[in-house]
Structure 1
Amino acid sequence: MKRAVLAIGLLAIATLLLAGCPQRTPDGVTTTTKPADTSTTTTEKKISVKLYFVEEKAGTQFLVSETRSITEPESLPEAAVEELIKGTKKNNSTSLIPPETKVLSVQVEDKLATVDFSKEVLSANVGAAGEELGIAQIVNTLTELPDIEKVKLLVAGNEKGLIDGREIADWWGHVGLYEQPFTRTEKLIKGVKTEAQTIIVDSPRAFSTVGNPLTIKGKAQVFEAQFQVRILDKNGSVLSDVPVMADGYDWGNFEEQIGYKSPKDAGYIKILFYFYSAKDGSEVPMAEVTAFVN
């Protein structure tokens, strides 16, 4: 009996001693305690940007706006141009900028945005009207942003020169970059009414060589489908000044041969397209093309 009591007492003492000793982990084993999660969930800030795409209806193309919500970027001008390249899912609307184009940079200084594209931007295959609208897409989108009033376009850091056999300054082959920087064009926006008449000159191209007579060709939206073409030599002397008719009142086509006096000095001529104001009869310029003579 005494032995049983003694055994129980020893067992109790051993239990108490073990409970008071710290637990040891096997050699080479490390235990870690997971820290409490103190992180907070951040919500991406969204901003709205107004983009311009090209819509065609009944054979007429014009710009339409689309307001898109995007995650606030480091560079809003650069993000806006990238959104243009992505295009739109709206019916009858498209972006004329080749989808494989990359935006290399957009620099803004003194209200001038300089956009540098990769060489793929030159691969667009459009006519003169499409080129004017494609440029206006970029310019009108960027001039929606604060502190941008003008836009200059570059390709691989250059305003002119050859890339894969194509002249950068020709852009898409009709309008070109010869009159940069570009300003906003309201007249091409759907639903915007302006007093300015509109003309798109397909031929002659800027800085091309022309003969005598020369051929003018394009599309015009002018009052009573009539406008004037004046040809000047490099000294400003008038070589010809004739009326031209388009074949319709709403973007009618025109094509005509125009003869002119031979300039005294060889070099270039200026071809002015204008109309007479219905309000006061003053001359209102629409377009100007500089060309070389044979």
Structure 2
Amino acid sequence: MTDLTGKTALVTGSVQGIGLAIAEALAGAGARIAVHGIAGDMEIREACAHLEKAGAPEAEFFHGDLRDADETARLMKAVAAWGGPDILVNNAGIQHTAPLAEMPRATWDAILAVNLSAAFATMQAALPGMAARGYGRVINIASVHGLVASVEKAPYVAAKFGLVGLSRVAALEYAAAGTKAQGGVTVNCICPGWTETSLIEPQVAARAKAHGGDRDAGIADLLAEKQPSRRTSDPSEIGALALWLCAPIAHNVTGTAIPVDGGWTAQ
């Protein structure tokens, strides 16, 4: 099992969904968790308490609006002062669908800022310290849309393709840092397909209604066009993969974009 005792992990967008599941997996291995996201005080307290119950020695919330470069810089300075990060998970993301001709420029700017530019800033701040310590993990939560495109998602697809490319550059630049014994420094992307989070629940409910309330049939119908398995992933599955990537044994797994998509990108 992966032992992250003494390690500090920053997981952006970790108050719910995939981010919380990844934070929970890392907490279970003994990592301190720097929690981040957009949430009210009650949700923040619940997330931190949940992660400490899961095994984190400490879970503390750090604020930072990733649309703002100055706030992102302050976030990274605060986490560095707290003792990390040894592990950086760029999970926070925003989405908006519209045809290319109708996509507002402000929406394009916001999606690129959160989904790509913020990851550049957090990696730029964190990677030198990881290299100096001989151990570091950057896990960028991209998407199948970092590997294939879909209509009406121009800024999201552009950002996720960019995130995969950025990660590969960083992986090459830091490939020789550290040793096998230390664990080295790796940079990878996880590219989820349909994953069961609150974001897709309205679509699942609508499809289930069309199938007489059968949720499984609704999910299969929703996924039929693109995900051959016709099964969603659970956020905990993404968490388990992220945890494995943090293990010393994964020291030579770097520069990858790993799909968890039921065969979507194999077509």
Question: Does TM, normalized by the shorter one, top 0.5?
Answer: no
TM-score (norm 2): 0.28
- Higher RCO, 1 vs 2 (CA within 8 Å, ≥6 residues apart): 2
Greater helix fraction, Structure 1 or Structure 2:
2
Larger radius of gyration: 1
TM-score (norm 1): 0.26
